[in-house]
A and B are shown apart, each in its own frame.
Chain A
Amino acid sequence: QQQVKQSPQSLIVQKGGISIINCAYENTAFDYFPWYQQFPGKGPALLIAIRPDVSEKKEGRFTISFNKSAKQFSLHIMDSQPGDSATYFCAASLNYGGATNKLIFGTGTLLAVQP
């Protein structure tokens, strides 16, 4: 129940295209769903996050779509650029805003944006 399933494992997108990464969870108590971007040899950087009381959140070229009934959420990267090439992790946690913020990570998606 603590797992977060992420797909695809890898993704190749042409420059200017839309990158879509999907995640699914089981634990309905999760109340915070962030996405992280990680470049090789670096720590993950928070990209965008959503709470289950909204169905969509957009920040620049990045959009999270959230389907509470299906227990799924996805990251959309519009107008994908070569600089977006990185590994993306979805995550979920309990106690949003609390001191715990214990995150459960998905398995990661390696995105390659071709020029």
Chain B
Amino acid sequence: GAVVSQHPSWVICKSGTSVKIECRSLDFQATTMFWYRQFPKQSLMLMATSNEGSKATYEQGVEKDKFLINHASLTLSTLTVTSAHPEDSSFYICSAPRTGKLFFGSGTQLSVL
């Protein structure tokens, strides 16, 4: 069964609004989680590393003020896309390591109108 739960599966929002995506580790604690972004028919690009109790680490070129990450507990990380615009439309996927392996959530398809 799934070890990482991600919600929502899809979301449609108006331009200028903010959207929050949740990622939960099921039955295990994750001090670190990762957020990826994937465009259609392309690979996964790491956006940021979410660290429980401290600031997230962003990859080069990722706007930290646009993509707010909060890892408030050992089982929950959230990604908030602030003031979303159509170019932010994408498939966002979280992941968490467990026993040396990286497990992914089911992804969130964000469409910004």
B93 pairs with A43, CB closer than 8 A: yes
Q: Mark A16-56, 1 if CB is under 8 A from B, else 0.
A: 00000000000000001010100001111110010000000
Shortest CB-to-CB span from B78 to chain A, Å, is 17
Give the total number of A-B pairs whose CB atoms are below 8 A apart: 65
Q: Which of B66-113 contact A (CB under 8 A)?
A: 91, 93, 95, 97, 99-107, 109
The CA of A98 and the CA of B6, in the complex, are separated in Å by 23
A67 contacts chain B at the CB level, 8 A cutoff: no
Closest A residue, CB atoms, query B34: A102
Closest A residue, CB atoms, query B91: A41
Give the bracket for the number of chain A residues in contact with chain B.
Answer: 20 to 34
Shortest CB-to-CB span from B57 to chain A, Å, is 9
A101 pairs with B100, CB closer than 8 A: yes
B6 pairs with A100, CB closer than 8 A: no
Dominant secondary structure at the B interface: strand
Q: Mark B12-50, 1 if CB is under 8 A from A, else 0.
A: 000000000000000000011010000001111110010
The CA of A95 and the CA of B45, in the complex, are separated in Å by 19
B residues less than 8 Å from A108 (CB atoms):
41-43
The CA of A104 and the CA of B107, in the complex, are separated in Å by 18
A residues less than 8 Å from B41 (CB atoms):
108, 110
Q: Which A residues have a C-beta under 8 Å from some C-beta of B?
A: 32, 34, 36, 41-46, 49, 89, 93, 96-108, 110
